Structure 1
Amino acid sequence: MPGQVNWVEIPAADTAKARAFYGALFNWGTSEFDGDYHVIDNGPDGAIIPAEDGFSHPRVYFATDDIDASVNRLHELGGHSEDVSTVPGIGRIAHCHDDQGIPFSLYEPAPQS
């Protein structure tokens, strides 16, 4: 459903410490997906991942049926985005900021085969 939160990424300087913290706090387990990217198994749909420059707070992904149209509309409304990128087998994403500079991301799932 467009606009629904469908993924969250929690950045951490030390993903092992973060996984231990959230595991103790919420009883979350994680599975390694790709290197230091750890999908949350029994909590919200999301992952614990390495923090990067400019990415030090949780990142929320909102669903969209048409990421190109959503990015165009975002720009019309005064927001900005990075280029849309494709994650093979997963879908397409765009990291964005609203018209007040608040970060979020858009996600369009890959077509089901």
Structure 2
Amino acid sequence: MANPFVHVELATTDVAKAKAFYTGLFDWELEEIPGMDYTLIKVGEGTGGGIMRTVQPDSPSCWMAYVLVDDAVVATDKARALGATICKEVTEIPGIGWFSVITDPTGATLALWQMNPAGKKP
């Protein structure tokens, strides 16, 4: 596996303002996810993403890239062994997959993503 970037997510302090800006700037289609405060960004070809409100009120808006891994637990443990700080341990999005968030030894933050192939647990 080449570990491609598979999703890019905007955590923003103003979701409505971000949606207006990015749909004005780019030819993106936005899709609200029912029951969640989350909007999918559909770009046609290429890597899509999402938009959500920042988790911590004092956090600035920022983009987060997700990299595909075979096993989120193994990749997170490997990142830890290589000196990463684990910001969010492996977490399941039911029926979709698992992710973790790491900060590398240089201070850059990245998310790791494992797809859910028909109910397989990591």
Output the TM-score relative to the length of structure 1: 0.89
| Counterpart residue type for residue 79 of structure 1 | A
Contact preservation (8 Å) 1:93, 1:105:
yes
| Structure 2 equivalent of residue 38 of structure 1 | 39
- In the alignment, does 2:110 pair up with 1:104? yes
| Structure 2 equivalent of residue 13 of structure 1 | 13
Distance verdict in 2 for CA 1:14–1:96, change over 3 Å: same
Taking the aligned partners of 1:106 and 1:76, their CA distance within structure 2 comes to 15
| Structure 1 equivalent of residue 53 of structure 2 | 50
- In the alignment, does 2:92 pair up with 1:92? no
Distance verdict in 2 for CA 1:55–1:62, change over 3 Å: farther
> Gaps spanning 5+ residues in structure 2: where?
none
Output the TM-score relative to the length of structure 2: 0.83
Taking the aligned partners of 1:94 and 1:45, their CA distance within structure 2 comes to 18
The alignment's C-alpha RMSD in Å is 1.7
Number of residue-to-residue matches in the alignment:
113
> Gaps spanning 5+ residues in structure 1: where?
none
Q: Which runs of 4+ in 1 moved over 2 A?
A: 41-44, 52-56
Q: Give percent identity, aligned residues only.
A: 31
